[in-house]
Amino acid sequence: MTAALLTIENLNVSYRGRGHSAHILDGVDLEIGHGQSVGLVGESGSGKSTVAFALLGLLADNAEVSADHAAFDGRTQDFAKRETASLRGTDIAMIFQDPMTALNPMFSIGTQLVDIQRRRFPKESRKALWARAQAVLADVGVQDAAARMHRYPHEFSGGMRQRVVIAMALLVEPKLLIADEPTTALDATIEAQVVEVLHRLRQRTSASMLVVSHSMGLIAELCDSVVVMYAGTVVESGKVADVLHRPRHPYTRALLACEIDPFAAFDPSQDLATIPGTVPDPSRRPQGCIFAGRCPARHDRCSEKPPQQQAGDGRTYACWLEAA
Partner 1 sequence: MRSASFQIHLASKLATALLAVAGSVVLLLALTRFIPGDPATVILGSRATPEAVAALNARIGLDKPLIEQAFAFFGRLFSGDLGEDVFNGRPVLSLVLGALPNTAALAISAMLTAIVLGVPLALVSARWPGGKIDRLVAFLSVGFISTPSFVVSVFLLMVFSVTLRWFPVLGAGESGDLGDQLWHLVLPTAALAAGWVGYIARLLRSSLLEVLSESHIRTLRAYGVSEAKILMKYALKPAVLPTVAVLGMGFGELLGGAVFAEVIFNRPGLGSLIYDAIRTRNYPVVQGGVFVIVLLYVLTNLIADLSQSLIDPRERARLVSGRGAVT
Ligand X SMILES: Nc1ncnc2c1ncn2[C@@H]1O[C@H](COP(=O)(O)OP(=O)(O)O)[C@@H](O)[C@H]1O
Residues within the interface to ligand X (CB under 6 A)? 15, 22, 24, 42, 44-50, 60, 62, 282
What is the x/- site pattern for partner 1, positions 94-113, by CB under 8 A?
Answer: x-x-x--xxxxxxxx---x-
Question: Strand 308-311 vs strand 69-72: parallel, antiparallel, or unpaired?
Answer: unpaired
- Measured from the CB of residue 97, what is the shortest distance to ligand X in angstroms? 8
Q: Quick one: which of 12, 14, 36, 49 contacts Mg ion (CB under 5 A)?
A: 49
- Measured from the CB of residue 85, what is the shortest distance to ligand X in angstroms? 17
- Rg of the chain, C-alpha, whole Å: 20
3-state SS string for 27-65: EEEEEECCCCEEEEECCCCCCHHHHHHHHCCCCCCCEEE
**Residue 55 or 228: which CB sits closer to partner 1?**
55
Contacted entry of Mg ion, ligand X, partner 1, none for residue 22, CB cut-off 5 to 8 Å set by kind: ligand X
Measured in whole angstroms, how far is the alpha carbon of residue 158 from the centre of its chain?
20
Query: For Mg ion, which stretch binds (CB under 5 A), given 49-57, 102-110, 127-135, 251-259?
Result: 49-57
Query: Taking Cα atoms as reference points, which of 52, 56, 77, 60 lies closest to residue 22?
Result: 60
Task: Say how many C-beta atoms besides its own lie within 10 A of residue 312's C-beta.
Answer: 5
Q: Is 165 in the site for partner 1 (CB under 8 A)?
A: yes
**Residue 93 or 231: which CB sits closer to partner 1?**
93
- In sequence order, what DSSP letters do the residues of 257-277 get, joined into one string? HH-SSTTSPP-GGGSGGGSSS
Query: For partner 1, which stretch binds (CB under 8 A), given 12-20, 86-94, 247-255, 285-293?
Result: 86-94
**Residue 281 or 322: which CB sits closer to ligand X?**
281
Residue 43: exposure state from Cβ atoms within 10 A (0-12, 13-18, ≥19)? buried
- Measured from the CB of residue 28, what is the shortest distance to ligand X in angstroms? 11
Contact between residue 39 and residue 219 where contact means Cβ atoms under 8 Å apart: yes
Secondary structure element (H or E) that encloses residue 20, with its range: none
Give me the phi and psi of 198, to 5 degrees please.
-65, -35
Separation between Cα atoms, residue 114 and residue 89, nearest integer Å: 12
3-state secondary structure of 208: strand
- Measured from the CB of residue 310, what is the shortest distance to Mg ion in angstroms? 29
Query: For partner 1, which stretch binds (CB under 8 A), given 36-44, 63-71, 157-165, 208-216?
Result: 157-165
**Residue 47 or 262: which CB sits closer to partner 1?**
47
Query: Taking Cα atoms as reference points, which of 85, 80, 93 lies closest to residue 8?
Result: 80
Where does this chain bind Mg ion (CB under 5 A)?
Answer: 49
Where does this chain bind partner 1 (CB under 8 A)?
Answer: 56, 58, 85-86, 88-90, 93-94, 96, 98, 101-108, 112, 115-116, 118-119, 148, 151-152, 154-157, 159-160, 165, 168, 172
